[in-house]
Amino acid sequence: MTEPLLAIRGLETAYGAVQVLFGVELDVHPGEIVAVIGPNGAGKSTVIKTVIGLARSSKGSIRFAGEEISRMAPHRIPALGIGYVPQGRIVFARMTVEDNLEMGAFLIGERARRRRAVDAVFAQFPRLHERRAQLAGSLSGGEQQMLAIGRALMLDPRLVILDEPSLGLSPKYVDLIFEQLVDLKRQGRTLLMVEQNAARALELADRGYALELGRNRYSDSGAALLANPEVRRMYLGGAGRA
């Protein structure tokens, strides 16, 4: 296989005195969708937060494109080529759709280039184009999630990290968002996502990692994890389709 784009080794992270990650290992190869699953509190978001510098590891390494980034300040992360879609589809509610996208391109000084990036996102999400002059706060939840994803794409990142992209969305929008993630992969993008909707995430993931209390529990192809009876019992709510 190719060199991993992201390689996490022996990662330990604590909030104050409370340690929540105990030696997490994770790889993301170029062009893959990798899903991190696990129950609430397993440490999924903390893995992501440590990668993007919002939480500090006490041990272990995080290499992105061959460079150690675990001591890097969070404001340097976007320029490395990591796009981040936070949990809870956070958008600037009082700004228009278009201005929200512009905010994702603050690093691009050149206006024409910013314009091209906005147009590329509009091509990916025609619905955002239709609503470009609307305030983000007036969008539906699913549209806000699209906007949050679009904003993360503005700098044409090499890796897009998504924290619970389907959480709280209506079934229709869950389908739409997952379809769009597959579409991004088809375009050659690399995605790392955290999902409580483990069944849906593993269906589209090339590989998955199941965490338990801050440790790796299972890692395999998405299909193998979906077929694993223990994984089904522990993470997918029983033997049947979750």
Contact residues toward Mg ion (CB under 5 A) are 44-45
Report the distance separating Cα 242 and Cα 236, nearest Å: 6
50 binds, among ligand ADP, Mg ion, none (CB under 5 to 8 A by kind): none
Report the distance separating Cα 24 and Cα 60, nearest Å: 8
Q: Specify the stretch interacting with ligand ADP by CB under 6 A; choose among 15-23, 62-70, 133-141, 169-177.
A: 15-23
- Under rule CB under 6 A, residue 201 binds ligand ADP: no
43 binds, among ligand ADP, Mg ion, none (CB under 5 to 8 A by kind): ligand ADP
Read off the DSSP letter of residue 96.
B
- Under rule CB under 6 A, residue 89 binds ligand ADP: no
Q: Which residue's C-beta sits nearest to Mg ion?
A: 45
2 binds, among Mg ion, ligand ADP, none (CB under 5 to 8 A by kind): none
Q: Which amino acid is at 30?
A: P
Integer angstrom CA distances of residue 32 from 13, 59, 73, 134, 199: 25, 26, 26, 34, 17
Q: How far is the CB of 242 from ligand ADP (least distance, A)?
A: 17
Report the distance separating Cα 91 and Cα 42, nearest Å: 26
Give yes or no for a contact between 164 and 198, defined as CB atoms under 8 angstroms apart.
no
73 binds, among ligand ADP, Mg ion, none (CB under 5 to 8 A by kind): none
| Binding positions for ligand ADP, 23-62, rule CB under 6 A | 38, 40-46
Nearer to Mg ion, 137 or 168 (CB): 168
Q: How far is the CB of 21 from Mg ion (least distance, A)?
A: 13
Ordered strands of the 82-85 beta sheet: 82-85, 159-163, 191-194, 33-37, 207-212, 215-221
Positions touching ligand ADP (CB under 6 A) are 15, 18, 20, 38, 40-46
